[in-house]
Amino acid sequence: MSMERVYILGGGAVGAPLAAFLTMSGREVVLVRMRSGVADSSQSTWVEVTMGDESIRAKVPTVAFEDLRGVNGVIVVTCKTYANERVAEGLRRVYRAGPIVLAQNGLNVERAFQDQGFPNLGRAVLYLTSQSSEDRAGLSYQFRSIADSLVGTLCGDAREIREAVKTLQTDRFPFSYCDALEGPVFKKAIVNVIFNSICPLLDVDNGIFARGRSLLPLVRSLIRECLQLVGAKGLELSEEEILESVERISQNSPQLISTLQDLRAGRQTEIDSLNFAFVEMAEGIDPEMRLPLVHALGDLIRAKSELSGSSRI
């Protein structure tokens, strides 16, 4: 199977920079527009990515999701997690061959794709910050890779997922293969619950945890609650290592968290794959476990989303 063509499903804060970096590296890339019903007949788009003092600009071929045909290559899913059922169903109809890598945050993001029976499925744990730049035409993002994003195999042939990692690898957006991904998935999900719950409710940027200690008791309570589930799953993570990750991200990446960006733009959030995925998983174990703080903060994000008039995209 040819690994040269890369289909990137979703042109947001992850997909667009990835498409630009791969294009600049000579890969054959197709950026797939996911918004249904949007009149756009263009066959390419300019993507500008700023990384500190460096900027790159790439012209990337594009296609609407509903116009995909005969998909054969590396498929990277970067769209919002709440669209996964629609995406998996639609992709199944046009899929021919190739590994699928889910480059999304949260828990259970793979469920819809497993239900559709895709043979070779991997997922990524992303270590980056990316935010759209205002007052610019086209797709423009401020991007920073914090560490190699990890990719592991969920099902199928691990060799295909490893080859996909090589295809996706660039210096500006590095990937590494990981044999044991479950621990990093949970660790990153807990960190995301903290940032995506607290920052949007306070309407503040990620740097809030580095500017003072007043939120430390709340952060520790969230970590401890989530770690109850992690322990029940037979995994070992420590409170201190997660707190260290929160503080490091807060110090080095003071942008707006994605949920706050979504709320301000009137878009639906991904809180279902974060707080409520933890809650669902906890309620499904025996004996059943409760995560009242995680649940309550998720309910508040949902309420704020409804008040902001969010819509599905």
Enumerate domains of the chain plus CATH numbers. Answer: 5-177 (3.40.50.720), 182-307 (1.10.1040.10)
Q: What is the pLDDT of residues 115-128, one digit of tens each?
A: 999 999 999 999 99
Q: Which residues pair with 130 in a beta bridge?
A: 143
Q: What is the pLDDT of residues 141-173, one digit of tens each?
A: 999 999 999 999 999 999 999 999 999 999 999
Summary mean pLDDT of the chain? 93
pLDDT beyond 60 at 74:
yes
What is the 3 state secondary structure string of the chain? CCCCEEEEECCCCCHHHHHHHHHHCCCEEEEEECCCCCCCCCCEEEEEEEECCEEEEEEEEEEEHHHCCCEECEEEECCCHHHHHHHHHHHHHHEEECCEEECCCCCCCCHHHHHCCCCCEEEEECCEEEEECCCCCCEEEEEEECCCEEEEEEECCHHHHHHHHHHHCCCCCCEEECCCCHHHHHHHHHHHHHHHHHHHHHCCCCCHHHHCCCCHHHHHHHHHHHHHHHHHCCCCCCHHHHHHHHHHHHHHCCCCCHHHHHHHHCECCCHHHCHHHHHHHHHCCCCCCCCHHHHHHHHHHHHHHHHCCCECC
pLDDT band at 233 (very low <50, low <70, confident <90, very high): very high
Average pLDDT over residues 276-294: 97
pTM of the predicted protein model: 0.93
CA–CA separation, 199 and 60 (whole Å): 33
Q: What is the token pair recorded at 243?
A: 């707190």
Q: How many CB atoms lie within 10 A of CB 256?
A: 20
pLDDT beyond 90 at 242:
yes
pLDDT at 41: 59
Q: What is the pLDDT of residues 132-145, one digit of tens each?
A: 886 455 799 999 99
State the Cα angle at 120 between 28 and 272, rounded to 5°. Answer: 95
Average pLDDT over residues 301-309: 91
pLDDT beyond 70 at 26:
yes
pLDDT beyond 80 at 310:
no
Average pLDDT over residues 38-56: 85
Average pLDDT over residues 43-55: 95
pLDDT beyond 70 at 75:
yes
pLDDT beyond 90 at 98:
yes
Do residues 249 and 188 make contact, with C-beta atoms less than 8 angstroms apart? no
Backbone angles phi, psi at 121, to 5 degrees: -125, 130
pLDDT beyond 90 at 19:
yes
How many residues can be counted in the chain?
313
pLDDT at 1: 40
pLDDT at 309: 75
Q: What is the token pair recorded at 45?
A: 């788009």
pLDDT beyond 60 at 39:
no
pLDDT at 37: 53
Q: Which residues pair with 121 in a beta bridge?
A: 100, 155
Do residues 206 and 198 make contact, with C-beta atoms less than 8 angstroms apart? no
Q: From the centroid of its chain, how far is CA 260?
A: 15
pLDDT band at 308 (very low <50, low <70, confident <90, very high): confident
pLDDT at 253: 80
Dihedral class, residue 55 (left if φ above 0, else alpha if ψ from -120 to 50, else beta): beta
pLDDT at 313: 42
pLDDT beyond 90 at 38:
no
State the Cα angle at 26 between 20 and 32, rounded to 5°. Answer: 45
CA–CA separation, 109 and 104 (whole Å): 7
44-51 and 100-102 beta bridge pairing? unpaired
Q: Is the C-alpha dihedral spanning 152, 278, 183, 245 positive or negative?
A: positive
149-155 and 121-125 beta bridge pairing? antiparallel
Q: What is the pLDDT of residues 186-222, one digit of tens each?
A: 999 999 999 999 999 999 999 999 999 999 999 999 9
